Homo-oligomer: A and B are copies of this chain.
Amino acid sequence: MPTPNAPRTARDRARAELTREIKEAARRQLAVAGADGLSLRAVSRELGMVSSALYRYFPSRDDLLTALIIDAYDAIGEQAETAIAQAGPGPGRVRWAAACAAVRAWARAHPHEYALIYGSPVPGYRAPEATIGPAARVPLAFVGVLADAFAAGEMATDGEGAESELGPELAAQAATLAAALALAPAVPPSALVATMIAWTQLYGMISFELFGQLVGSFEPADALFGHAVARLMAFVGFS
């Protein structure tokens, strides 16, 4: 009894496999030439096909690029989610730290895919809506850890002054977001802001490391990363 939605025929199986191989070859291309330099002809060459054959699988170069972007977002998101799950049901700070380490590990293992999704945008390429969901997985994973920690009563509450510190505009943005994510009222807006700051910090540190801005100062970056993650957890409010 075959799995539902699984390819039925040999043709379907061959198609699924070739689609995967095309994306793999394209990912290898990314490393050599970057997103701008991704070339259908180079991909087809690597697969021993004629370039026009790729059009049976992807309607255009941009569609292939989109597929790679979605895959990359999904991969790094899944890595974060898995790390959180494997960190088990202990204190939230363990899951948080595991997620940070997982994101960095994925980035270091796939620097060109990381650059594809978090680097400077490719001029002339407009990311379609289908990328929005996958792109949100990593930040949502962090928010999930945060919400669980609040539910478990682990978080240091800043007292009544916390919200006013945000200022009216930021408080409003955070409240809107908290409502949209169904976090209110358990998770205070200030914690959401702190998470966003922690996430931009994580991103900044990984990008500096990968893009070579740390060369000559804090390289290798393991110690700096570990230290920053620890400090950031206190900043977000993990006890």
Question: Which A residues are within 8 Å of any B CB, using their own CB?
Answer: 31-34, 36-37, 115-116, 118-124, 132, 135, 165-167, 169-170, 173-174, 177, 193, 196-197, 200-205, 207-208, 211-213, 216-218, 222-224, 226-228, 231, 235
The smallest C-beta distance from A214 to any residue of chain B, in angstroms, reads 8
Cβ contact within 8 Å between A193 and B36: no
Candidates B33, B193, B197, B226; contact of A167 at CB < 8 Å: B226
Cβ contact within 8 Å between A33 and B224: no
Cβ contact within 8 Å between B118 and A213: yes
The smallest C-beta distance from A122 to any residue of chain B, in angstroms, reads 7
A-side binding surface: helix, strand, loop or mixed? helix
Candidates B32, B34, B231; contact of A122 at CB < 8 Å: B34
How far, in angstroms, from A205 to B218 measured CA to CA in the complex? Answer: 20
Among A166, A170, A177: residue with most chain B CB under 10 A: A170
Candidates B37, B115, B123, B173; contact of A217 at CB < 8 Å: B173
Besides the contacts A135-B213, A197-B227, what 17 more A-B pairs have beta carbons closer than 8 Å? A115-B120, A119-B119, A119-B120, A119-B211, A120-B120, A166-B223, A167-B226, A167-B227, A169-B223, A170-B226, A173-B217, A173-B223, A193-B218, A193-B224, A203-B213, A204-B205, A231-B235
How far, in angstroms, from A204 to B224 measured CA to CA in the complex? Answer: 16
Cβ contact within 8 Å between A200 and B211: no
How far, in angstroms, from A36 to B226 measured CA to CA in the complex? Answer: 34
**11 pairs across A/B with beta carbons < 8 Å?**
A34-B122, A34-B123, A115-B121, A121-B212, A167-B226, A170-B226, A170-B227, A173-B217, A173-B223, A196-B224, A231-B235
Q: What residue in chain B is nearest A34 (Cβ atoms)?
A: B123
With a cutoff of 8 Å between Cβ atoms, the chain B residues found around residue A123 in the complex are 31-34, 37
How far, in angstroms, from A218 to B177 measured CA to CA in the complex? Answer: 8
How far, in angstroms, from A206 to B200 measured CA to CA in the complex? Answer: 9
Q: What residue in chain B is nearest A125 (Cβ atoms)?
A: B34
Among A31, A116, A135, A227: residue with most chain B CB under 10 A: A227
